């Protein structure tokens, strides 16, 4: 049993709320990549080597009126929310670690 009420609350929030939000955000991003981006990449890619080369047929797909540009605009909020959720959970982890460290000193 955890006697520190703050730690108990933080752990409950972490496992019940924050982990779930981050997982949903990651799943949204993975789904968008698989459904939206992979078809565009398959259609437009000339050459691709992870962390080395990504060459596409027509770079205007990111500047003109295109499906790729529309997807970027629509998903910008999803990506931003995902990053904010990950930042929030990382801060929670640090707070929980600090509380645990203080408890271990007692």
20 is in which domain, residue-wise?
Answer: 5-105
pLDDT confidence band for 89 (50 / 70 / 90):
very high
For residue 47, give every residue at least 6 positions away whose Cβ sits within 8 Å of its Cβ, in sequence order, or none.
53, 54, 55
pLDDT confidence band for 77 (50 / 70 / 90):
confident
Report the alpha-carbon distance of residue 16 to residue 52 in Å, rounded: 40
User: Structural domain tally of the chain?
Assistant: 1
pLDDT at residue 3 above 80?
yes
What pTM was computed for the model? 0.65
């Amino acid at each position: 049993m955890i006697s520190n009420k703050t730690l108990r609350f933080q752990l409950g929030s972490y496992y019940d709320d924050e982990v779930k939000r981050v997982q949903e955000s990651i799943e949204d991003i993975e789904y968008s990549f698989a459904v939206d981006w992979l078809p565009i990449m398959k259609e437009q890619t000339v050459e691709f080597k992870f962390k080395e080369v990504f060459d596409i047929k027509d770079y205007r797909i990111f500047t003109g009126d295109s499906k790729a540009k529309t997807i970027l605009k629509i998903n910008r909020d999803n990506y931003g929310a995902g990053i904010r959720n990950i930042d929030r959970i990382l801060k929670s982890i640090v707070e929980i670690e600090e509380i645990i460290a203080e408890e271990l000193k007692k």
